[in-house]
Amino acid sequence: MDYRIIQSPSEGALDIITRRMGMSQSASQQFRDYDAIGLIQGKLIDMVYVADLAEKAAGIVAVDIRGSCPQNMILLALFGDTASVETALSDIKINMKKSRGSD
């Protein structure tokens, strides 16, 4: 899996993400108030598992981002404050290592 954190996301980054979520500009307004976005890319089975972990670990909203990857990789966006996104990503990495034995 690949992980990234965007702190204080720019309008352009938010536009890209919310468009790929299939939302109109007005409907996506709720996602513009978060301090950080965690991005995670991986296999569908892992993305469902980590979305559950993230929402349980911290005050996070996990959203599937549409893509067109021929390898069926899935991208999740984790919206929240910076500390919550960092906590969620840390918990995800720990739990994925425990469940697989590697990352």
pLDDT digits (tens, 9 = 90+) for 32-47: 889 999 999 998 889 9
Q: Which domains does the chain have, with CATH numbers?
A: 2-100 (3.30.70.1710)
Confidence check: pLDDT of 103 > 60:
no
The structure's pTM equals 0.85
Ramachandran class of 65: left when φ > 0, alpha when ψ lies in -120 to 50, beta otherwise? beta
User: Angle, to 10 degrees, between the axis of helix 44-57 and the axis of helix 82-100?
Assistant: 130
- Please report the pLDDT score of residue 74 as a whole number: 86
- Please report the pLDDT score of residue 89 as a whole number: 93
Task: For residue range 9-28, list pLDDT tens digits in order.
Answer: 999 999 889 888 887 777 67
Ramachandran class of 69: left when φ > 0, alpha when ψ lies in -120 to 50, beta otherwise? beta
Confidence check: pLDDT of 69 > 90:
no
